[in-house]
Amino acid sequence: MTFKISGNTKGFWGDQQLLRLILINLLLNPIKSSPSGSEIELHLTGNSTHIAIEVKDKGTDLPAGEQVLQSVRNSSKDSDGSDFGTISANSLNLAIVQACTQLHGGEISWVSPTGKAAQFTVRLPKRIVE
C-alpha cells in the first residue's frame, strides 16, 4: 500500500469515528478484492476549502460502484429496505462511506478508467473552528 499526502491538508476538523469508518470501508474493498500483491494507493490531498481522500487500486473493477452510490443517494425511494437483501459486502462498504461522507457535508465519486481498476474519492469541506 502506498500512502501520499499533498496540498493543504491542515485545518480540517471532523468526527473521528465517522472518518475512521470512511477510511476502513474505502480500503476494505480493494484489500479484499484485489489479487495478492496488487498495488493500492491512499492519497490525502487538500486545498483551502476541502480535503480529498482517494483510494485507487490497479486490479479490481467494481462495475456496480456507481449503481450502489446512486441507490444510496436515492434511498428515499426504497423506504421498505427491500433491495438490501441483494447488497454485497462491497456495496455495503460503499453505502457506509456514502452515509458518513454525507454527515460531513461531503460527496463521494467513483471512476473506473481502465475497466480493471477503481478509484473512489471522498471530498469533505473544511470547517472554520472558532
Q: How confident is the model at residue 54 (pLDDT cuts 50, 70, 90)?
A: very high
* Model confidence, pTM: 0.77
pLDDT number for residue 30: 82
- Residue 80 CA: distances (Å) to CA of 21, 65, 91, 97: 25, 22, 18, 21
Summarize pLDDT for 105-121 with one digit per residue, the tens: 999 998 876 666 788 99
pLDDT number for residue 119: 87
Mean pLDDT of the residues in the chain:
79
User: What CATH number matches the domain at 2-125, 3.30.70.270, 3.40.630.10, 3.40.50.300, 3.30.565.10?
Assistant: 3.30.565.10
Arithmetic mean of pLDDT, 53-70: 67
Exposure of 115 by Cβ count < 10 A (0-12 exposed, 13-18 middle, 19+ buried)?
exposed
Q: Domains of the chain: which residue ranges?
A: 2-125
